[in-house]
Amino acid sequence: MAYNLKEVMANKPSRLTAGHRMCAGCGAPPAVRMILRALHKEDHAVVSVATGCLEVSTYIYPYTAWTDSYLHTAFECTAAAESGVEAAYKVLKKKGKLPQDKNTKFIAFGGDGGTYDIGLQSLSGAMERGHDMVYVCYDNGAYMNTGIQRSSATPKFADTTTSPAGKKVPGKTQVRKDLTEIFANHHIPYAAQTICLNNFKDIYEKAEKAIYTEGPTFLNVFAPCPRGWGYPTEDLMLINKLAVETCYWPLYEVIDGKYVINYKPKNKLPVEEFLKPQKRFKHMFKPGNEWMIEEFQKIVDARWEKLLNLEKISE
């Protein structure tokens, strides 16, 4: 379906209002704003947000940047809380205690700490039970809100406060968890990977599919963090572009088990182009550390080839 970006997106009122306290150059606010814009104007949403940067910066009682119904939860139970609200809504509507012509959608947001790690159990349960809801992970690759500690979303060799790069240890020593694949393998009707900027059409269309596909759906959104990653705030667009062009963060979706890659770079860039602008990887460019870049490239290439094969065999 073709979209006129100006008419369909820009002219919709933002459901995340200006004045929140998120950092300049953060990927989470544009991601949230665009995902909520995918809601149809007449529809209402119940949004639950896990503790984290997004929560503490957009909802400081009694002030809120959210225009829809909002629920703040702990790290570990966002998906559980949202699934409970969805179940209660169905019962109340069935009993005639809610208007039959009112359409309410259920959207949960969590960072990678509250999704990849602490909230994984409750999220897996909500997806398996089949609740009609969307879970969105804004992936900034560490526990940014509490001091830039490593998470299972942190890429290998990244420098964080709990995986510091030094003479003995080269940053984080483990590879990044592939969460999108984990939820694609929950056999849910829709799972996708997208970015917060550079391709508004991609994130808008995937958000609309996720919101209006019946059943549990999952979106993993690349959401850079200037403070934790160490890039100038004005380079948010650049970091997104390099993540996609190097295939570090492929854009793809899994629709009823069928893999569709939405963008394949004509000239795939070496991953060092993505690493260079970020201070968390600066140690990798010191003399003698070339092996780190080579290993990182092998990880990215292997995952890209696997994704290409998954698309091929699911055709």
Print the domain residue range for 30. 5-313
Beta strands in the chain (DSSP E): 44-50, 59-60, 63-64, 69-73, 104-111, 134-139, 190-195, 217-222, 252-255, 258-261
We report the CATH number of the domain holding residue 21 as 3.40.50.970
> In this structure, are residues 284 and 263 in contact, taking their beta carbons and an 8 Å threshold?
no
Q: What is the pLDDT along the chain (315 residues), one digit of tens a residue?
A: 555 666 667 778 899 998 899 999 999 999 999 999 999 999 999 999 999 999 999 998 889 999 999 999 999 999 999 999 999 999 999 999 998 888 999 999 999 999 999 999 999 999 999 999 999 999 999 999 999 999 999 999 999 999 999 999 999 999 999 999 999 999 999 999 999 988 899 999 999 999 999 999 999 999 999 999 999 999 999 999 999 999 999 999 999 999 999 999 999 999 999 999 999 999 999 999 999 999 999 999 999 999 999 999 988
Number of domains in the chain: 1
Q: What are phi and psi of 155, to 5 degrees?
A: -70, 155
Whole-structure pTM over 0.85, yes or no?
yes
User: How far, in Å, CA of 198 to CA of 241, rounded?
Assistant: 6
Q: What is the pLDDT of residue 147?
A: 96
Closest CA to 105 of 196, 5, 208, 254: 208
Q: What is the pLDDT of residue 50?
A: 96
Strand, helix or coil for residue 76: helix
One DSSP character per residue, 260-314 reads EES---SSPPPTHHHHTT-GGGGGGGSTT-HHHHHHHHHHHHHHHHHHHHHHHHT
